[in-house]
Amino acid sequence: MKYYLIAGEASGDLHGANLMKALKEEDPNADFRFWGGDLMKAVGGVEVKHYRDLAFMGFAEVLMNLGTILKNIKFCKKDIEQYAPDVIIFIDYPGFNLRIAKWARKKNYKTHYYISPQIWAWKEGRIKDIKRDIDEMYVILPFEKEFYEEKHNFPVHFVGHPLIDAIHKRPQIAPEKFKKDNGLDNRPVIALLPGSRKQEIKKMLEIMISVAKEFTDYQFVIAGAPSQEQSFYESFLSTKNVNFVTNKTYDLLSISEAALVTSGTATLETALFKVPQVVCYKGNRISYEIAKRVIRLDYISLVNLILNKPAVTELIQNEFNTNRLKQSLANILNPQSREAIFIDYYNLEKKLGGRGASRNTAKLIYSAVRK
């Protein structure tokens, strides 16, 4: 069968690639055409557009690139018609994908959505579009099933979280080898995950590295984002006791004692590596005040949202300062606190449904499309 997949970000490329591998196991004759990245390309099929040409973040950037976005939407529709797929698989990336889905529904294409937009956090009104335009929705967070089915009377499939597979399948690395290869000494490591966008990284790292001089029994290591040049981080590396690795976040987490993490998917990744963490966030004051009124959630980290409790410390906006960060980091290095965190992490992984998200989704898609 012919599968047309649309992923518009790095995470979508990872999960799209694993889904494609699983689809090939279900359907040896699977033919793929996709918007994605290098990981999806490595699986096989025809890449239409790379996600790096699609990722416009923030209101101003979207406005500045509106012409390009509209051209991409028009081109995508034409490309789908020429390919005539048996099913279109949307992977997150709602601003673009929901527009294509609306058109695809009118053209009678089968529409399947893998990794739901986070409409439970904001833009809940998108539920109308999803109910109208999407045949099957595959959700990866346990509370999303309740949100869709009980609150909005829209049946969905909870398939588990694909990060569990991505983490468990990765090659293991010896801590000693990692430290030697990356110029680190033998002290325990505290990982710094400051995000992936320049503005975000500058704001977060300045405060994160301010506590390094207080914990000299540990070495602090910045996880450089693959989207940024190493030269961008140079100004932060003059601080004593701060090191740097790039594009090795999973390897770094696998050997870390603790982590300071900017809110986002990285908080869940850190938890799945069983690394105690402090979740940090500081944004533009005006943007933060607007977001606070639009997004109505008790927590900002996926760990706490899934467990519905403050399992990990969240330092948000003014609370994210050197003094509070120092206290919070000291706390998660305390053996008693760590034991409680590990228990919560164990329960978190159980709630996420264990391994097999890509395989579960592929089976459901193949079965539904064959009918």
Any idea where the domains of the chain sit in the sequence?
2-160+356-370, 173-351
* pLDDT per residue as tens digits for the range 88-127: 999 999 989 999 999 999 999 999 999 999 999 888 999 9
10-residue mean pLDDT profile of the chain (371 residues): values are: 94 93 97 95 96 61 62 94 98 94 98 95 92 98 95 97 89 92 96 88 93 96 87 87 94 97 93 97 62 66 94 94 98 96 96 92 97 82
Rounded Cα gap, residues 243 and 241, in angstroms: 7
What pLDDT is stored for residue 84 in this prediction? Answer: 98
- Alpha-carbon distance 320 to 206, whole Å? 11
Burial of 324 (0-12, 13-18, 19+ CB in 10 A): middle
CB-based contact 143:305 (threshold 8 Å): yes
Give domain 173-351's CATH number out of 3.30.1370.60, 3.40.50.2000, 3.30.1330.60, 3.20.20.70: 3.40.50.2000
Tokens of 27: 């359907």
What is the average pLDDT score of the chain? Answer: 91
Looking at the DSSP assignment, which residues form a beta bridge with residue 316? Answer: 281
Q: What is the pLDDT of residue 59?
A: 47
Residue 351 host element (H or E): helix 335-351
**Rounded distance between C-alpha atoms, residue 115 and residue 136, angstroms:** 11
Q: Is 113 helix (H, G, I), strand (E, B) or coil?
A: strand
CATH topology match: 2-160+356-370 vs 173-351: yes
What topology does CATH give the domain 2-160+356-370? Answer: Rossmann fold (3.40.50)
